[in-house]
Amino acid sequence: MLKVYRYTLMQGVFIMTSLLLLLKPVLAIDVVVMAIFGETVILKVDGTQHKLKIGDKTPEGITLSKVDSDQVELKINNKVSMHQLGGHVSFSNQRSGANKDKKPAEAKIWPQNDMYVTHGSINKRSVMFMVDTGATWVAMSEAVAKRLGINYYRGTPGYAGTASGVAAIYKVNLDKVKVGEIELRNVQAAVISGYRSPQVLLGNSFLKRVEIQRTKQVMILKKKY
């Protein structure tokens, strides 16, 4: 009986160890585009700087696939995204299809000059977002709308109160809005006449569809399921 008990115990330890190895937690990788010098890019990954040229890969598996004058294309786990100079980017190191019970998509946003600012995309085109919980919609200037190819004149005209007073707007629907790992479809937005900022306000037409948490200084957005 004693031999059987010991053998079974060792089997149990082996099985539990194997399960722990298989069930590694999904971790978020924090990436900052520090500098762009021609085709050379400096990335800071979880606090460690890496000097990359096109085709190079960091130890975390992030590949530099394309470089423009003010933005880079990064690839990880077969996912490709564009990111501008500065700001934080949060990647998940989970392999696609590895676990159907994966955590909800999330985005981590760090404050800059007391504002929560982050890179993202609208209709797959790179933009800089500023989180504004007081804004009804995702909002942008006419110049940004034109750069994104949004034909806002076909939208619904109206008026809205802004920090500068009442302004004419065009209400439109955006096909895709992406921040971090979170991508939402059919997001209401406003194009504001007279608004000059190159930043896009990330308002409640996006924020009401995610959960918002704050841990120390970091704002964490999590997609609702």
Task: Check residues 67 and 155 and name the one with the higher pLDDT.
Answer: 155
Whether residue 5 is predicted with pLDDT greater than 70 in this model: the reply is no
pLDDT of residue 171: 96
Show the beta-strand stretches assigned E in 46-134: 48-53, 63-67, 71-76, 79-84, 88-92, 106-109, 111-112, 115-122, 125-131
pLDDT of residue 11: 46
pLDDT of residue 95: 47
pLDDT of residue 125: 93
Give the integer Cα–Cα distance in Å for 25 and 98.
12
Buried b (16+ CB within 10 A) or exposed e, 208-222: eebeeeeeeeebbbb
Lowest mean pLDDT: which of 12-26, 45-59, 125-139? 12-26
Whether residue 25 is predicted with pLDDT greater than 60 in this model: the reply is no
Structural domains in the chain plus CATH codes? 1-94 (2.30.30.830), 117-223 (2.40.70.10)
pLDDT in tens, 59-117: 778 888 888 767 788 888 777 777 777 756 666 555 444 444 567 888 999 888 889 99
pLDDT of residue 92: 59
Give the integer Cα–Cα distance in Å for 203 and 209.
11
Q: What is the mean pLDDT of the chain?
A: 80
Give the integer Cα–Cα distance in Å for 22 and 111.
35
Two structure tokens written together for 225: 């399921």
pLDDT of residue 48: 82
pLDDT of residue 143: 95
Beta strands at 106-109 and 111-112: parallel, antiparallel or unpaired: unpaired
Model pTM above 0.75: no
pLDDT of residue 97: 46
CB 151 within 8 A of CB 173: no
C-beta atoms surrounding 50 within 10 Å: 18
CB 84 within 8 A of CB 97: no
Average pLDDT over residues 28-49: 79
Give the integer Cα–Cα distance in Å for 194 and 49.
40
